[in-house]
Structure 1
Amino acid sequence: MPDDALNAPAVDNSKLRLSAAAKARIRRYENPRYSYYDDGGKPGRGNCTWGVGTLAHKGPCSVAELKTKVDTTQVEAVFASRIADAERAVRREVTSRALSQNQFDALVSFVYNVGATGAGNVLSLVDDGDFKGAAEAISRTIYMTVRTRRGAKKVIAHGLIPRRAEESAPFRVPAD
């Protein structure tokens, strides 16, 4: 790596904010619910979730949780907080590449869904300029763990396939 590259200032993505269109897409993909539910299809499978895809805890909801209602104010406050957390994670981890609005939106959506830790590899690939690798890694993140009678297993979450296609699209650029 040339010496001037080592001394180059970090790229400033600090002014980027999630667009209104991307926020609406996250809401559509996450399908807001004002009660607790098992995110994995049938009750007793997947993870206990509420609001706009907010994980209550790993594993299915209890009977009491499934009866719990959540008000709109609480759902919207947590949604806004999680969006802000995802934006900060993208800005913190992608410092050597200027992001387009579409790329920023895609990464925030991905981080919102899988968490900053789960998105770490993708954010690192983007920061390194490996957009093809990032697109492939995003596209592979379509599995969830569900409980079975014999324990747990990973299954394809079919609802994630179109979401991942959309999130990976801004990084599917032709090679120079």
Structure 2
Amino acid sequence: MANENMPSSEAGWAALRTREQAVMAYYNDQANNSTFGVGTLAHTGPCTPEELRRPVTAAQVNAQLATGVGRAEAQVRRTVTQRELTQPQFDELVSYTYSAGNTGAVDALHAANQNNDAGVVSHMNQRVYVHPRDAHGRRLRAVRSNGLVNRRRLETAPFQSQGAR
């Protein structure tokens, strides 16, 4: 099975850490969801006053990152079995899956499995919206995130044809 033993590279880990920007506290992300560390969702809706006072350790952040990356790697390996990925392609699919979640990433992963690079790029570029929540945790209208647009540009790069770059 293609990619069954491929791990994320050091460069892939470093890029993911940079993109997620570790925050050593609980905070409300751009969708107003309680988040901490390296983009780890604590729960939907804003942080509670208690969470905002709660310290977050480097060990907690690193453990959550390792768990999330492990899940993303496993999903990429499980789904992309018919095509051997390059290391940069694997790293960026892991980054995308970490960001979009297993369910959110499935269409791009299926396109990668079918060797459909244009499909990978198209599916990734559709996931650039966040659904903010109000102070009561109710989901609001989707908003395009410039941060996600920039992230998807980086994640799609290994799937772009040389002429399209």
Q: TM-score, normalised by structure 2?
A: 0.91
Match of 1:37 among 22, 27, 32: 27
**Mapping of 1:13-92 within 5 angstroms?**
13-40=3-30, 46-92=32-78
Q: Distance in 2 between matches of 1:158 and 1:49?
A: 19
Aligned to 1:116: 102
Q: Which has the higher contact order (CA 8 A, sep 6+)?
A: 2
Deviations 1:5-50 (A, max 9, x none): xxxxxx421221111111111111111011110001xxxx521100
Aligned to 1:156: 144
**Of the two, which has the highest radius of gyration?**
1
Which amino acid letter does the alignment assign opposite residue 161 of structure 2? V
Match of 1:147 among 133, 136, 145: 133
Q: Distance in 2 between matches of 1:171 and 1:85?
A: 22
Which amino acid letter does the alignment assign opposite residue 24 of structure 2? Y
Structure 1: 5+ residue runs without aligned partners?
1-10
Q: Distance in 2 between matches of 1:32 and 1:17?
A: 22
Higher helix share: 2
Q: Distance in 2 between matches of 1:154 and 1:47?
A: 14
Q: Distance in 2 between matches of 1:125 and 1:151?
A: 30
Q: Distance in 1 between matches of 2:113 and 2:91?
A: 15
Q: Distance in 2 between matches of 1:173 and 1:54?
A: 33
Number of residue-to-residue matches in the alignment: 161
Q: TM-score, normalised by structure 1?
A: 0.85
Q: Distance in 1 between matches of 2:150 and 2:94?
A: 16
Q: Compute the RMSD of aligned alpha carbons.
A: 1.7
Higher strand share: 1
Per-residue deviation at 1:173?
A: 2.1
Identity across matched positions, percent = 39
Q: Say which SS state the counterpart of residue 146 (structure 2) adopts.
A: coil
Q: Say which SS state the counterpart of residue 113 (structure 1) adopts.
A: helix
Structure 1's consecutive aligned runs of 4 or more residues displaced over 4 angstroms after TM superposition are 148-151
